[in-house]
Structures are given as C-alpha cells and as structure tokens.
C-alpha cells in the first residue's frame, strides 16, 4: 500500500523525484534559508508547488530587502537575503530603481505620481496587470511626488480576490487617512481631517487600525455600507493622542499583529547626530537624525467590540518573534524558523522623509538609518549596509516573494 505522504499518482509519466515523500520535501525546505529559494522550489513542478504552499502556510515567510543598485538597469531592482547576507543580482524585478515605493502588501508594491495617483504592481508576476487608482485629493503637497503618500496597504491580494479587496492609505501633507474598494467605488472615502499625523495602518480582526506619532490609535471598517465618498468618515478613537503623559513624541510609530494574535504598537525614537554622512557635496545639507531606540506596547481590546481599549501594556520582550517595519506593511515572524534571524528584535529600514536639495532637485537623504534593534538590551546590529553612492536612490523596503 502506498504511503499517504507520497504524492505520486498511478500511471504517472513524471520523473520519480517529482513524487518524493512529503517529509523528504519538507526536510529539503527546512534547509532553504532564503524565501526566494522556496519560490524556486515551488516552480519545479505542481507537486512541489503544493508542498511549498502548505509548508509556507505553517511557517510565515521571512522578508527580503528590495534594493535599488546604481547600474544600467534603471527599471530593475534586486533582492537581498538577510540570513545569507547575499544580494541576488540574478533576480531583476521590473521596478523603477529611483522611485520610492510607498508600500508592500500581499505581494504588491505601491508607487505614487505627481497627480497623487497610486499604482499597484506585482513585480513577482509578469502577467499581473498594473492597477491604477483614482487620484487622491489635490491639496498642498510635499515638493517630491514620491513622498506624498506615506503608506499603502491592501486587505487582500487583488489577483486572488479581484472583486473583494480594499486599499488604505496615509497621505500628505498632514498624514491623513483614506480608503477605496476599487471594484465597488470610483472615488476615495476620506476620514476626518481633524485626525492627522498617522504613520502606519494594518488590518486586524476585520477592521483597519491606524496609529499616529502622538500615540493615537483609531479603527474603522472599510466594508461598512454607511460610508460615502462624499462624506468624511469619523473613525472610532481607541487611544487618544498623548494617552500617557509620559509618552515621548515618536517620529515613526508602527502597528503590527504578533504571531500570537496580539496587536502591537511599535514606537521609533530618533536622535540628532552630526556627521552622519561621510562626505558632503556642495549644495547638500547633512542629515541630522537617526534611530535612537524602540518601545513596544500591546493593546488589549474588548473581545466583544474590538473598539474599546481595556489595557495598554508595555512589552519588555517579543520572545521568539522578530518584527519587520518600514515602508512595507508591518510584519512579524518566528525567528527560530529561520537560521540567522535574531529573536526579540526589530528589523527596520530607512523610511524617513528627510530629503536634501542638490542642483535644484530633491532626493531622498539616505538610505542609511537601517538595522536590527534588540529589545532586550537596546543594542543595534546591521542587516545591510548600502554604499554611499546609493544615497540618491530609493530606500530599500521589506518584501516577501510569493509562491507562483
């Protein structure tokens, strides 16, 4: 009798290795340290793809860095793996190398143009059609178009949920909130413009949660029928600004669901530093701030409504978890699943909107403020160090190569 763990069907004409026992294939995947290897593994044949898909459902994939390199391919980017410390230059993704991406969610990148129109693209699937969304409100904006939208996230993958996905954004100049259901709406729904200063958003328990620099946390439902694109939506305020008087202002605040299902608020504090850049060209202004520390709090919400706060608790340890924050949708993983990944740590990229003027143009001032922060002892390590000549290029962000 054939073992249930063997995938080989009767009268198969495929090679024997295509039907190796599932435990053997899982053992192979255990030794594939970078997520791009899993994507390649899944591309071998249908049977291996099924195993890889099931394997990665059980183990959340490790993010990789999407990098811009200063080369002749102005519409190409590459991937960097943090476990091997390796740049995969043989992977050329069709993403304009000098334009900042304002989000990565469910396999899709987001960019914004000078008309405040957001484009969604899937660089890992060439057959995926780009999605252009309606322009956001034309307000007084930042001079650099690529920084007019701070963050974009999706509720679902547009490829697999073509008729049922929502897009939520934080947009300039006051870091306000808006959302759209592209298959159901022709215009954006805007949230109360008296509530501003948001820096991150996430979907949790069927609702959207947004967090701001001064500690404010709000929630709203993008699927509610009572909302109208003609009226400003008033979200539910879960935590008001300056909820704790002892709270320091944080330049960046992130919100992420932990592997245990908790809702975490991650606050990133900056400090001023002189001489950060190694050399300053004429017409440049030196950057003054880098990350000083992080603090993490857990929001304990009412189980019935998810709309009221019961407790706001500081988290001293993340245990085996590692968080990945930046321009991407914030993510958490179990570090023990990936050799070389640091537990109880926060992996961060340079998502600052600091810019400098040079030769009458505006360029990103980085990306140099990146690293790994250990929550236990407050120390920093490096995960990737860009070359100084890449300071004019778009900053890296965390992505997860999907299984095709």
* CATH code assigned at 90: 2.120.10.30
Number of domains making up the chain: 2
The answer to whether position 404 is within a domain reads no
Give the pLDDT of residue 198.
95
In which domain, by residue range, is 248 found? 62-399
Task: List Cα–Cα distances, 116 to 81, 102, 140, 150, in angstroms.
Answer: 32, 12, 11, 12
Integer Cα distance of 5 and 20 in angstroms: 9
d(CA 287, CA 365): 7
Least confident of 215-224, 238-247, 335-344: 238-247
Same domain? For 51 and 90 the reply is no
199 and 324 part of one domain: yes
What pLDDT is stored for residue 66 in this prediction?
92
Element (H, E) at 254: strand 252-257
Residues 50 and 158 occupy one common structural domain: no
Residue 242 has pLDDT above 80, yes or no: no
Q: State which of 71-80, 139-148, 264-273 shows the largest mean pLDDT.
A: 264-273
The residue out of 9, 33, 61 marking a domain boundary is 61
Residue 282 is predicted with a pLDDT of 44
Rounded to the nearest integer, the mean pLDDT of the chain is 82
How far apart (Å, rounded) are the C-alpha atoms in residues 68 and 387?
A: 11
Beta strands in 302-360 (DSSP E): 309-315, 321-325, 331-334, 345-348, 355-358
Residue 271 has pLDDT above 90, yes or no: no
Q: Which pLDDT score is estimated for 110?
A: 94
Last residue of a domain, one of 43, 61, 79: 61
* E strand spans, 84-232: 86-93, 103-105, 108-112, 118-121, 131-132, 149-154, 167-171, 176-180, 189-190, 198-204, 207-212, 217-220
Which is nearest to 78 in space by CA: 93, 95, 62, 99? 93
pLDDT tens figures, 68-99: 876 555 667 889 999 888 998 888 888 876 67
Predicted confidence band of residue 400 (pLDDT cuts 50, 70, 90): very high
**Same domain as 206, residue 150:** yes
CA angle, 29 then 31 then 32, to 5°: 65
Q: Mark whether 93 and 236 lie in a shared domain.
A: yes
**Dihedral angle, C-alpha 401, 315, 342, 57, nearest 10 °:** -30
Q: How far apart are CA 305 and CA 19, in angstroms?
A: 48
Local confidence band at 364 (pLDDT 50, 70, 90 cut-offs): low
Give the model's confidence band at 359: pLDDT under 50 very low, under 70 low, under 90 confident, else very high: very low
Hey, which of 30-34, 47-51, 115-119, 264-268 has the most confident mean pLDDT? 264-268
- Of 166, 271, 280, give the one whose Cα is nearest residue 227: 166
Residue 357 in this model has a pLDDT that exceeds 90: no
What's the token pair of residue 195? 């509530």
Cα 56 from Cα 73, distance rounded (Å): 32
Give me the mean pLDDT over the 182-192 stretch.
85
DSSP 184: T
Same domain, 51 and 151: no
Could you give the CA distance from residue 61 to residue 84 in angstroms, rounded to a whole number? 15
Instruction: Please classify residue 92 by burial: count the beta carbons closer than 10 Å to its beta carbon, then call 0-12 exposed, 13-18 middle and 19+ buried.
Output: middle
Do the Cβ atoms of 193 and 155 come closer than 8 Å?
no
Question: Which one of 26-40, 83-97, 260-274, 332-346 scores highest in mean pLDDT?
Answer: 332-346
Q: Which residues pair with 64 in a beta bridge?
A: 399
pLDDT confidence band for 15 (50 / 70 / 90): low
Mark whether 81 and 227 lie in a shared domain. yes
Q: What is d(CA 256, CA 240) in angstroms, rounded to the nearest whole number?
A: 18
pTM > 0.85: yes or no: yes
Position 168 pLDDT exceeds 90: yes
Higher per-residue confidence, 273 vs 233: 233
Q: How many other CB atoms are found less than 10 A from the CB of residue 108?
A: 27
The answer to whether 158 and 108 are in contact (CB under 8 A) is yes
Least confident segment among 183-187, 233-237, 240-244: 240-244
Final residue before a domain boundary, out of 12, 34, 61? 61
One domain, residues 248 and 353? yes
């Amino acid at each position: 009798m054939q073992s249930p763990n063997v995938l080989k069907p009767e009268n198969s004409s495929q090679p024997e290795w295509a039907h190796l026992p599932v435990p053997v294939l899982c053992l192979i995947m255990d030794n594939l340290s970078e997520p791009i290897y899993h994507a390649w593994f899944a591309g071998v044949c249908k049977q291996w793809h099924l195993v890889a898909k099931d394997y990665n459902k059980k183990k959340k994939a490790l993010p990789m860095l999407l990098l811009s390199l200063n080369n002749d391919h102005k519409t190409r980017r590459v991937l960097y793996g943090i476990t091997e410390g390796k740049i995969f230059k043989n992977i050329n993704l069709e993403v304009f190398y000098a334009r900042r991406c304002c989000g990565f969610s469910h396999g899709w990148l987001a960019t914004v143009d000078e008309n405040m129109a957001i484009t969604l693209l899937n660089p890992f699937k060439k057959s995926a059609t780009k999605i252009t969304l309606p322009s956001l409100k034309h307000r007084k904006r930042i001079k650099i178009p690529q920084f007019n939208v701070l963050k974009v996230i999706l509720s679902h993958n547009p490829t697999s949920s073509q008729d049922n996905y929502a897009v939520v954004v934080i947009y300039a100049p006051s870091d306000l909130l808006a959302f759209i259901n592209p298959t159901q709406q022709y215009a954006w729904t805007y949230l109360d413009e008296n509530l501003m200063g948001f820096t991150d958003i996430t979907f949790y328990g069927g609702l959207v949660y947004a967090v701001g620099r001064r500690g404010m946390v709000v929630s709203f439902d993008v699927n509610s029928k009572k909302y109208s694109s003609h009226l400003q939506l008033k979200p539910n305020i879960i935590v008001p600004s300056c909820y704790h008087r002892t709270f320091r202002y944080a330049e960046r605040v992130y919100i992420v669901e932990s592997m245990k299902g908790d809702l975490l608020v991650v606050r990133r504090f900056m400090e001023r530093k002189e001489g950060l850049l190694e050399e300053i060209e004429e017409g440049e202004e030196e950057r003054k701030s880098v990350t000083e520390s992080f603090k993490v709090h857990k929001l304990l919400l009412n189980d019935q409504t998810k709309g009221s706060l019961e407790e706001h608790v500081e988290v001293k340890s993340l245990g085996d978890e590692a968080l990945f924050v930046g321009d991407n949708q914030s993510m958490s993983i179990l570090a023990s699943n990936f050799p070389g990944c640091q537990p109880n740590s926060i992996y961060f990229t340079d998502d600052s909107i600091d810019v400098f003027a040079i030769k009458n143009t505006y360029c990103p001032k980085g990306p140099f403020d990146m690293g790994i922060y250990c929550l236990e002892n407050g120390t920093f390590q490096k995960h990737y160090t860009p070359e100084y000549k890449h300071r004019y290029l778009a900053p890296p962000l965390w992505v997860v190569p999907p299984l095709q």
